[in-house]
A and B are shown apart, each in its own frame.
Chain A
């Protein structure tokens, strides 16, 4: 189980991420916080595997957070406006989510994180892909229109 933290200075935004984490079987929600320093402490104590992090925060920008916690956890960045896309990837971010985030898109990023944190053998991989396909199909039909 991947231990997750959702960090955003706007709490409704981290609430959305929290709901998505709870919906996803291989993710475990440790909590949400609007305080970047609190999150940093948890990461430094080695209690967190994956952080969903907003870039635009008043006390500490997402980029600064990345530089400080470097390596102790994996990060998925969330943002309303992608000005810092390249910079994020320089610092080895798992994925980049644009708000508002659909569950489909969130799931894709979560599976990417799963691959990064625990690379699996091909047989197991297929099982995960099938699981993912099942989960996605529900939401995929929302995108189809009458044929």
Chain B
């Protein structure tokens, strides 16, 4: 929601709340002295509300942050008491010549009385914040479910009968073997690629070395097409038994081949995959091409961002650097 809209809603709510409190006063009419203390109280309550709503609850209303939460609330109460004292006992006295509490009031009495008054608008922002959060998470859940349905549909649409597909590929393979090794190899690579993309696993994650094999098949097919002027360096480090969301690395390689220069021996496409302590870094850098052979819609990157947000929320980092000559994308994932 736009900021202006949010601010307007907040203003409206306060007008309604205060209107309710002041309704009677407006109808009957009051003296300055009576309304002065209502105004100061409401002002401080609004301040208190926003301290809690904008800072205390968003920062500390989470698991394992209870001590900070209590600290935040006590801080808010402190601000309430200090502000009330400042306005009602000091400033009002200075400006209007009157103040609120009777002269003999002890500090203890003042503090304990105001702790009581402060509680209302500490509880209210908690309720407002809580309700907003539950609406948000409901929205996120609904979006996730929508994405799942969409993905299922597109998967079903694209599904070719695998028996038919692989048997036919096998037939082509049988025709290719006596003709040319290269041809037979290309058919094998293609089958590997198809087997990979058409296989679903329930949680969408595959073992990292299988994903790397897929990338290698992809690169190998390109190499076969553009040989011998095809220069790619692919290095991996630290792969053991990690799992990764399937097909999340390929768009970066695709982009490098689409928009990059692959036939410059001095500046090959560099693909570096490194895993250390559950932290994966995948770096693809290429020389930028000034002609574009493959005009596609650029949906790939938008899609990647969405998938990363859905599957690795807050657990990923995507850095792009472009200095006019070299394009480098670095993906960091906490597996």
Task: Tell whether, in the assembled complex, residue B163 and residue A80 are in contact, meaning their CB atoms are under 8 Å apart.
Answer: yes
Task: Tell whether, in the assembled complex, residue B174 and residue A12 are in contact, meaning their CB atoms are under 8 Å apart.
Answer: yes
Task: Tell whether, in the assembled complex, residue B231 and residue A12 are in contact, meaning their CB atoms are under 8 Å apart.
Answer: no
Residues of A within 8 A of B173 (CB): 16, 99-100
Between A80, A142, A147, the greatest number of chain B beta carbons within 10 A of the residue's beta carbon is seen for A80
A79 to B195, CA, bound (A): 13
A15 to B173, CA, bound (A): 11
Q: List 11 A-B contacts (CB under 8 A).
A: A13-B167, A13-B170, A56-B163, A80-B162, A81-B163, A98-B166, A99-B166, A100-B191, A145-B220, A146-B232, A146-B268
The contact of B167 among A19, A99, A143, by CB within 8 Å, is: A99
> Is B289 among interface residues, defined by CB-CB distance under 8 A?
no
A56 to B162, CA, bound (A): 13
Task: Tell whether, in the assembled complex, residue A145 and residue B232 are in contact, meaning their CB atoms are under 8 Å apart.
Answer: yes
**B residues within 8 Å of A by Cβ?**
162-163, 165-167, 169-171, 173-175, 177, 181, 185, 187-188, 191, 195, 216, 219-220, 223, 228, 230-234, 268
Q: Which residue of chain B has the shortest Cβ distance to A15 in the bound complex?
A: B174
Q: Which residue of chain A has the shortest Cβ distance to B265 in the bound complex?
A: A146
Task: Tell whether, in the assembled complex, residue A10 and residue B171 are in contact, meaning their CB atoms are under 8 Å apart.
Answer: yes
A98 to B234, CA, bound (A): 27
- Fill in one digit per residue for A83-103: 1 if any B CB lies within 8 Å of its CB, else 0: 000000000000000111010
Residues of A within 8 A of B219 (CB): 145
Q: Which residue of chain A has the shortest Cβ distance to B220 in the bound complex?
A: A145
Task: Tell whether, in the assembled complex, residue A16 and residue B174 are in contact, meaning their CB atoms are under 8 Å apart.
Answer: yes
Q: Which residues of A97-147 are within 8 A (CB) of B?
A: 98-100, 102, 142-143, 145-147
Task: Tell whether, in the assembled complex, residue B181 and residue A142 are in contact, meaning their CB atoms are under 8 Å apart.
Answer: yes
* Number of chain A residues close to chain B: CB under 8 A: 18
Task: Tell whether, in the assembled complex, residue B177 and residue A146 are in contact, meaning their CB atoms are under 8 Å apart.
Answer: no
A10 to B173, CA, bound (A): 13
A96 to B185, CA, bound (A): 20
Task: Tell whether, in the assembled complex, residue A80 and residue B167 are in contact, meaning their CB atoms are under 8 Å apart.
Answer: yes
Between A10, A12, A13, the greatest number of chain B beta carbons within 10 A of the residue's beta carbon is seen for A12
Task: Tell whether, in the assembled complex, residue B174 and residue A145 are in contact, meaning their CB atoms are under 8 Å apart.
Answer: no
Task: Tell whether, in the assembled complex, residue B230 and residue A146 are in contact, meaning their CB atoms are under 8 Å apart.
Answer: yes
Task: Tell whether, in the assembled complex, residue B223 and residue A16 are in contact, meaning their CB atoms are under 8 Å apart.
Answer: no
A141 to B195, CA, bound (A): 22
How far does the Cβ of B154 sit from chain A's closest Cβ, in whole Å?
A: 21
The contact of B170 among A16, A19, A142, A146, by CB within 8 Å, is: A16
- Fill in one digit per residue for A1-45: 1 if any B CB lies within 8 Å of its CB, else 0: 000000000101101100100000000000000000000000000
A146 to B220, CA, bound (A): 9
Residues of A within 8 A of B166 (CB): 80-81, 98-100
Residues of A within 8 A of B216 (CB): 143
Residues of B within 8 A of A13 (CB): 167, 170-171, 174
The contact of B220 among A12, A81, A143, by CB within 8 Å, is: A143
With contact pairs A16-B170, A99-B167 given, residues A145 and B230 touching in the complex (Cβ less than 8 Å):
yes
Residues of B within 8 A of A102 (CB): 188
Task: Tell whether, in the assembled complex, residue A145 and residue B170 are in contact, meaning their CB atoms are under 8 Å apart.
Answer: no
A101 to B208, CA, bound (A): 23
How far does the Cβ of B124 sit from chain A's closest Cβ, in whole Å?
A: 59
Task: Tell whether, in the assembled complex, residue A147 and residue B233 are in contact, meaning their CB atoms are under 8 Å apart.
Answer: yes
Q: Which residue of chain A has the shortest Cβ distance to B227 in the bound complex?
A: A146
Between A10, A19, A81, the greatest number of chain B beta carbons within 10 A of the residue's beta carbon is seen for A81
How far does the Cβ of A96 sit from chain B's closest Cβ, in whole Å?
A: 14
Task: Tell whether, in the assembled complex, residue A12 and residue B171 are in contact, meaning their CB atoms are under 8 Å apart.
Answer: yes
Residues of B within 8 A of A15 (CB): 174
Residues of B within 8 A of A19 (CB): 177
Residues of B within 8 A of A16 (CB): 170, 173-174, 177
Residues of B within 8 A of A56 (CB): 163
